[in-house]
């Protein structure tokens, strides 16, 4: 039974408690655990740790901010995690905030253009050598406004919204279209 996914603020937990928490979600039948990318643990390393200590649950970067690494590094991370876990990795991406870019000495850019170019670079021809049968890595974009939702509709497998009213969900679905996944994230 698929009972959806859970956003996990893993930086607040010890490594053992984080693994125990995600194993508990797995035992309860949750489909996925989405780990946050704030200013604590490196998100892809943490995802790998969780994937290595679970059997069935999918683990997602929820949401890896794109100023933290270039598109090739993100693609390598996603492909590696997907291959090593038998296809259980989901790649969630977001632009974050100007502070995240400034912390790394990178200039903030137009978020819509930056995200579109980033995902296209990830999905384009890159000098990455992976097994020919590496599992597909779905990409979800954090999107609140209609322009970013349009980018998700154009270049991603779906979108995530966060703490938005029901009317926003209906608008997002209309912009995203019927064939893309829409994850509506609400605190509980």
Q: What is the DSSP string of 99-118?
A: HHHHHTT-----HHHHHHHH
User: Within 10 A of 71 (CB to CB), how many other CB atoms are there?
Assistant: 18
pLDDT tens, position by position, 97-134: 898 889 889 999 999 999 999 999 999 877 676 666 77
Look at residues 80, 67, 73 and name the one whose alpha carbon lies nearest to residue 59. 80
Return the pLDDT at 1: 44
Would you call 135 helix, strand, or coil by DSSP? coil
Return the pLDDT at 131: 66
**Run of H or E residues at 147:** helix 146-155
pTM higher than 0.75 for the full model? Answer: yes
Instruction: Encode burial over 118-151: b for 16+ CB neighbours within 10 A, e otherwise.
Output: bbeebeeeeeeeeeeeebebbbbbbbbeeebbbb
Antiparallel, parallel or unpaired: β 32-35 and 5-8: parallel
Return the pLDDT at 3: 67
């Amino acid at each position: 039974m698929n009972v959806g996914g859970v956003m996990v603020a893993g930086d607040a937990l010890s490594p053992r408690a984080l693994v125990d928490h995600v194993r508990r979600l797995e035992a309860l039948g949750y489909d996925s655990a989405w780990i946050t990318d704030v200013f604590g643990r490196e998100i892809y390393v943490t995802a790998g740790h969780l994937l290595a200590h679970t059997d069935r649950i999918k683990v997602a970067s929820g949401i890896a901010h794109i100023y933290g690494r270039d598109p090739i590094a993100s693609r390598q991370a996603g492909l590696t995690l997907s291959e090593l876990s038998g296809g259980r990795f989901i790649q969630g991406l977001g632009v974050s905030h100007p502070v995240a870019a400034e912390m790394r000495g990178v200039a903030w850019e137009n978020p819509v253009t930056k995200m579109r170019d980033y995902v296209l670079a990830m999905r384009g021809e890159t000098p990455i050598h992976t097994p020919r049968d590496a599992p597909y890595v779905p990409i979800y974009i954090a999107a609140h406004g209609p322009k970013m939702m349009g980018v998700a509709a154009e270049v991603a497998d779906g979108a995530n919204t966060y703490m938005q009213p029901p009317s926003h969900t209906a608008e997002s679905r209309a912009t995203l279209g019927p064939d893309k996944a829409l994850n509506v994230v609400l605190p509980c």
